[in-house]
Amino acid sequence: MATGDLDRVYGIVINSLDYKESSKILKIFTRSYGILSVVARGAKRPKSKMQNLTSVYCLGDFKLKRAGDMFYLQDGHIEDLNEGLRRDLKDIYFAQVITRYVQRGLFENQVNENIFDLYVKTLSFVVACDKKLRLLNMFLIKYIAFQGYLPRVNACLICGSKALEDKVFSIEDGGLVCKRHGHPGQGLDKDEVFYLNGIFD
């Protein structure tokens, strides 16, 4: 939990709303302090240096001053504006979907460096990725795991067999089991088992 001023906090803007005449209220997902609410005074003024810094998906170091329960943006250094995420509708939608998961799944100030890293990394892949559904699935499976629901997928939960063939994903058991044990679950082909193993290695 952040208690004082934060001189250099690494994070990414995940929401930016107009506030009063010339300011903005931001949600910045920070690596070390979780999601923080931040007021950016004057950020809407046409000549403000803060315009880029306060745009959604701007990744960088933020200098924040604390006053009561709020933080005020003082300055910052942009590492990546992620401008590409604003051009293509599919990319915009993708980024919005994973951002919603992050916003809904984490309490304000809840620190989760794994989810931060996963989120930033996934965003960096979106534009160039031509298998977006796969990227989204990968994000979701890892996201769920980082929330504390880690399925076991590298071997059968019952006999320990690491064979890729004849496996089912059993939600009740919390991972992979061999078909022959007769547990209910979703049957997976070899490639899917291989793919799951890759995700959680």
Residues in contact with Zn ion by CB under 5 A are 156, 158-159, 161, 178
- For the bound state, the minimum distance from the C-beta of residue 181 to Zn ion, rounded and expressed in Å, comes to 5
Q: Which is nearer to Zn ion, 159 or 199 (CB)?
A: 159
* Token output for 40: 């950016």
- For the bound state, the minimum distance from the C-beta of residue 165 to Zn ion, rounded and expressed in Å, comes to 11
Cα-Cα-Cα-Cα torsion 81, 84, 86, 88, nearest 10 degrees, comes to: -170
Q: Which is nearer to Zn ion, 42 or 174 (CB)?
A: 174
- For the bound state, the minimum distance from the C-beta of residue 172 to Zn ion, rounded and expressed in Å, comes to 15
- For the bound state, the minimum distance from the C-beta of residue 183 to Zn ion, rounded and expressed in Å, comes to 9
Task: Please name the residue ranges forming H helices in the chain.
Answer: 50-53, 89-105, 113-126, 132-146, 190-200
d(CA 200, CA 21): 47
- For the bound state, the minimum distance from the C-beta of residue 157 to Zn ion, rounded and expressed in Å, comes to 8
Q: Which is nearer to Zn ion, 90 or 162 (CB)?
A: 162
Q: Which is nearer to Zn ion, 18 or 189 (CB)?
A: 189
* Token output for 112: 């989760």
Complete edge-to-edge strand list for the sheet that includes strand 167-170: 175-178, 167-170, 186-188
Q: What are the distances in angstroms from CA 67 to CA 19, 48, 70, 73? A: 17, 22, 5, 11
* Token output for 10: 């690494």
d(CA 101, CA 142): 12
- For the bound state, the minimum distance from the C-beta of residue 180 to Zn ion, rounded and expressed in Å, comes to 7
Q: Number of C-alpha atoms within 13 angstroms, CB side, residue 176?
A: 26
Q: Which is nearer to Zn ion, 28 or 157 (CB)?
A: 157
d(CA 72, CA 57): 18
